């Protein structure tokens, strides 16, 4: 009877699926370009961060280091490539120019560059050596060229806007020349990074030299930042959003929209030293553990994005030996878990699949991949395992895209089935694989409540004709890049208060380009993206215009802020 009932359910499910597929709305789905697809397939990318601030023990170059001291005598770009290969990275993203303006290639656009150091008597060119090493080791090369430049008064978060307007045009020409040199002299560049956007018009240069490159932020952005430097995406992670949001050049995962009309994959960046991008003896003691890196992998690559993991050469130019050991352990751990599935189903279509395991086998992971070249078709799914005579839910999810890794407690099953319960079009399954990772203990993510902090009061007593303005200093609450939530509480619900307009300004710059504030669901809750690093003395100012529903009743409340929780959408 149980078998007959089971078969009846399968038949009905199949007939229902056929009906749904035939009648589902065939709305065009956003798809990746060939360039985006090739980039996304890399899965893992290694950052290389080396800067004069490495010699200073800082995160930002303050120009206190004499160029005669910049002599990374053991610098070996082959070693950098070996580090990348050790953990399976397919690309190196190199910081050719950071915020201070120091250039690691041999350029005449700036005296603050490698040609005025003692390294190789000023004849060296790190970018050239790295490009040659990448070709030798079969790695792609990306470049980070900071649009700003302290030597021109275009500081952190400026996007290239000079504090002195009279210098803007001259700096525009300098930056355009720098970008042209980097993109035209070192072979194919897979990725171009404009950290914190770019206000200088370089579209023609990108069209000419980077038409086969993905662009991180700026006017021609084709990638998006995850919104934090944790290396973790929020789930569900959709690689689509509205074209209007993408054109801002500063869109992040906050802008996810499964039905968006533009494709812009998510890149999750993270430090190896928690939380420093550049080497120092002190920072090296903050090295992450293997368990931390695996958790990051699950929540970046395993959520359908790309992991960008940092490396930090020291003042000799070499990546520290203990870092190299950790990279190798990380790579081996990924391979041991996911290189050899117990069984897999590949290159098929449909909404219901059942895989027999011949006999009871212990499993603890399933990995689902869809052919995302045709967009995000899968919207909801359930994975079950047959344990004895009972089907048990092993995992549930929504977004899949390139890959969704679902871990669970080790369970003995004889069959595994996938049921896609919601979809935008006929699901195209690239792979559905079942794994047993040895010595794996499933640890569900603990619920973590992030406390709200009071950052100021508001009161309608100060309103005039039902309208009020408020300026709030959020500097002490936003101490690092990331995503934050601000909400306004109200003590009198019946009268209410509405935030009509809000602006977020960083470092007293009323034209800050790289960050924004966004209303959530028409409520008095806002999302803040801080994409640029927060330097000592940085200011974050919130300006708000409010209205009250009733000018007769007195109303007041508090303004609260917190870092965005991992499960907040």
The upper half-sphere exposure of residue 288, i.e. CA atoms within 13 Å in the direction of its Cβ, equals 25
**CATH number of 10's domain:** 2.60.120.260
**CATH number of 50's domain:** 3.20.20.80
State how many domains the chain has: 3
Give whole-number Cα distances, 70 to 115, 315, 368, in Å: 11, 8, 48
Identify whether 197 is part of a domain.
yes
Please check whether residues 113 and 198 belong to one and the same domain: yes
Instruction: State how beta strands 352-370 and 428-435 pair.
Output: antiparallel
Identify whether 442 is part of a domain.
no
**CATH number of 547's domain:** 2.60.40
SS3 of residue 190 by DSSP: coil
Identify whether 103 is part of a domain.
yes
Please check whether residues 279 and 217 belong to one and the same domain: yes
Please check whether residues 282 and 418 belong to one and the same domain: no
Identify whether 354 is part of a domain.
yes
N residues, the chain: 569
Give residue 218's domain range: 35-338
Question: For residues 96 and 108, what is the distance between their CA atoms, to the nearest angstrom?
Answer: 15
Identify whether 162 is part of a domain.
yes
Question: Which residue, 338, 353, 377, sits at the end of a domain?
Answer: 338
Lowest mean pLDDT, pick from 122-136, 277-291, 491-505? 491-505
- Mean of the per-residue pLDDT values for the chain? 90
Please check whether residues 324 and 370 belong to one and the same domain: no
Question: For residues 96 and 143, what is the distance between their CA atoms, to the nearest angstrom?
Answer: 6
Question: Which residue, 435, 463, 485, sits at the end of a domain?
Answer: 435
Please check whether residues 101 and 22 belong to one and the same domain: no
Please check whether residues 424 and 333 belong to one and the same domain: no
Beta bridge partners of 397: 381
Residue pair 239/223 in contact (Cβ under 8 Å)? The answer is no
Q: Say whether pLDDT at 355 is over 80.
A: yes
Q: What is the pTM of this model?
A: 0.88
Please check whether residues 326 and 351 belong to one and the same domain: no
Residue written as tokens 């359930």?
A: 382
Q: Say whether pLDDT at 4 is over 60.
A: no
Please check whether residues 220 and 108 belong to one and the same domain: yes
Residue pair 283/56 in contact (Cβ under 8 Å)? The answer is no
Residue written as tokens 């998006």?
A: 224
Identify whether 568 is part of a domain.
no
Question: Which residue, 407, 435, 463, sits at the end of a domain?
Answer: 435
Q: Which helix (H) or strand (E) holds 308?
A: strand 306-311
Please check whether residues 87 and 204 belong to one and the same domain: yes
What pLDDT, in 10s, does the model give residues 24-56? 546 799 999 999 999 999 999 999 999 999 999
Q: Which helix (H) or strand (E) holds 326?
A: helix 321-338
Please check whether residues 323 and 205 belong to one and the same domain: yes
Identify whether 241 is part of a domain.
yes
Residue written as tokens 């000023």?
A: 122
Binned at pLDDT 50, 70 and 90, residue 503 comes out as confident
Please check whether residues 209 and 347 belong to one and the same domain: no
Give whole-number Cα distances, 168 to 143, 160, 195, 351, in Å: 23, 8, 19, 56
pLDDT at 227: 87
Identify whether 569 is part of a domain.
no
Please check whether residues 347 and 489 belong to one and the same domain: no
The encoded tokens of residue 62 equal 């303050």
Binned at pLDDT 50, 70 and 90, residue 1 comes out as very low
The encoded tokens of residue 432 equal 């559905």
């Amino acid at each position: 009877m149980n078998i007959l009932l089971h078969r009846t359910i399968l038949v009905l499910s199949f007939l229902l699926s056929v009906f749904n597929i035939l009648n589902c709305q065939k709305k065009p789905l956003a798809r990746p370009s060939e360039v985006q697809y090739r980039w996304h397939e890399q899965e893992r990318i290694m950052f290389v961060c080396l800067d004069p601030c490495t010699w200073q023990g800082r995160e930002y170059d303050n120009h206190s280091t004499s160029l005669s001291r910049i002599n990374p005598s053991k610098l070996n770009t082959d070693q950098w490539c070996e580090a990348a290969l050790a953990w399976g990275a397919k690309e190196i993203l190199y910081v050719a120019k950071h915020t201070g303006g120091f250039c690691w290639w041999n350029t005449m656009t700036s005296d603050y560059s490698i040609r005025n150091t003692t390294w190789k008597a000023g004849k060296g060119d790190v970018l050239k050596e790295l490009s040659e090493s990448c070709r030798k080791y079969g790695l792609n090369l990306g470049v980070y060229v900071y649009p700003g430049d302290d030597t021109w008064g275009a500081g952190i978060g400026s996007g290239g806007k000079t504090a002195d307007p009279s210098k803007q045009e001259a700096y525009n020409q300098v930056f355009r020349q720098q970008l042209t040199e980097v993109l035209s002299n070192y072979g194919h560049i897979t990725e171009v990074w404009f950290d914190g956007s770019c206000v200088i018009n370089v579209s023609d240069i990108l069209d000419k030299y980077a038409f086969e490159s993905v662009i991180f932020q700026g006017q021609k952005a084709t990638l998006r930042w995850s919104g934090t430097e944790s290396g973790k995406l929020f789930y569900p992670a959709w690689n689509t959003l509205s074209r209007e949001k993408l054109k801002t050049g500063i869109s992040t995962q906050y802008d996810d929209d499964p039905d968006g009309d533009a494709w812009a994959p998510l890149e999750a960046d993270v430090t190896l030293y928690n939380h420093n991008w550049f080497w120092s003896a002190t920072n090296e003691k903050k090295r992450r553990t293997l368990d931390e890196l695996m958790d990051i992998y699950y929540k970046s690559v395993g959520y359908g994005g790309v992991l960008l993991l940092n490396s930090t050469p020291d003042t000799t130019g070499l990546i520290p030996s203990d870092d190299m050991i950790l990279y190798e352990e990380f790579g081996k751990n990924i391979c041991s878990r996911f290189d050899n599935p117990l069984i897999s189903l590949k290159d098929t279509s449909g909404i219901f699949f059942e895989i027999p395991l011949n006999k009871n086998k212990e499993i603890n992971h399933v990995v689902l991949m869809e052919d995302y070249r045709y967009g995000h078709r899968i919207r909801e799914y359930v994975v079950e395992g047959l344990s004895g005579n009972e089907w048990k839910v092993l995992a549930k999810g929504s977004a899949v895209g390139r890959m969704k890794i679902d871990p669970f407690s080790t369970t003995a099953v004889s069959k595994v089935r996938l049921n896609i319960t919601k979809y935008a079009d006929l699901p195209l399954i690239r792979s559905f694989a079942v794994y047993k990772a040895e010595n794996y203990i499933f640890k569900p993510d603990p619920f973590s409540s992030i406390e709200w902090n009071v950052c100021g009061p508001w009161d309608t007593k100060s309103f005039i004709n039902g309208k009020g303005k408020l300026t709030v200093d959020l500097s002490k609450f936003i101490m690092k890049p990331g995503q934050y939530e601000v909400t306004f509480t109200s003590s009198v619900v019946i009268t209410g208060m509405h935030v009509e307009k809000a602006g977020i300004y960083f470092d007293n710059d009323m034209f800050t380009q790289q960050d924004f504030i966004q209303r959530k669901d028409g409520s008095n809750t806002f999302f803040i993206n801080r994409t640029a690093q927060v330097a000592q003395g940085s200011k974050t100012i919130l300006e708000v215009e409010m209205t009250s529903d009733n000018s007769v009743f007195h109303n007041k409340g508090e303004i609260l802020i917190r870092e965005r929780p991992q499960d907040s959408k």
